[in-house]
């Protein structure tokens, strides 16, 4: 008897989900065809506050500068950082 109740509840929930899916697809297709007045869709863009200086003007400087290095140089820098760490034990590395 309990299994029939579960099947009935699942069937009802599945029908509700499918009907909502179909209704939303139909509504979105009608909204896509709708024509909006020209003033409502053209919002004025506002820059992010971090892109402004203290006077409120947009910063012209590059915000991110990347430089590329060879894999060997990167490995040497990482090894130097690892060996300079406080928990580094050179004797353990020599055993491995």
pLDDT in tens, 29-51: 887 777 766 655 556 788 888 88
Q: Which residue has the higher pLDDT, 3 or 90?
A: 3
Q: Give whole-number Cα distances, 34 to 1, 21, 65, in Å.
A: 50, 20, 44
User: 52-90, pLDDT tens digit by residue?
Assistant: 889 989 988 877 778 889 999 999 999 999 988 888 776
| pTM metric for this prediction | 0.36
Q: What's the length of the chain?
A: 96
Q: How far apart are CA 15 and CA 2, in angstroms?
A: 20
Say what the alpha-carbon torsion angle 66, 69, 74, 80 is, to the nearest 10 degrees: -90
Q: Tell me if residue 48 falls in helix, strand or coil.
A: coil
| φ, ψ of residue 39 in degrees (nearest 5) | -80, -20
Close Cβ partners of 61 (under 8 Å, ≥ 6 residues apart)? none
- Up-side HSE of residue 54: CA atoms within 13 Å toward CB? 0
């Amino acid at each position: 008897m309990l299994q029939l109740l579960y099947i009935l509840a699942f069937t009802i929930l599945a029908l509700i989900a499918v009907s909502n899916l179909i209704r939303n697809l139909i509504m979105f297709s009608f909204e896509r065809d709708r024509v909006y007045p020209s003033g409502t869709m053209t919002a004025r863009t506002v820059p992010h506050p971090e892109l402004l200086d203290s006077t409120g003007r947009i910063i012209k400087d590059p915000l991110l500068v990347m430089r590329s290095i060879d894999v060997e140089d990167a490995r040497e820098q990482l090894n130097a950082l690892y060996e300079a760490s406080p928990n580094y034990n050179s004797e353990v590395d020599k055993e491995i």
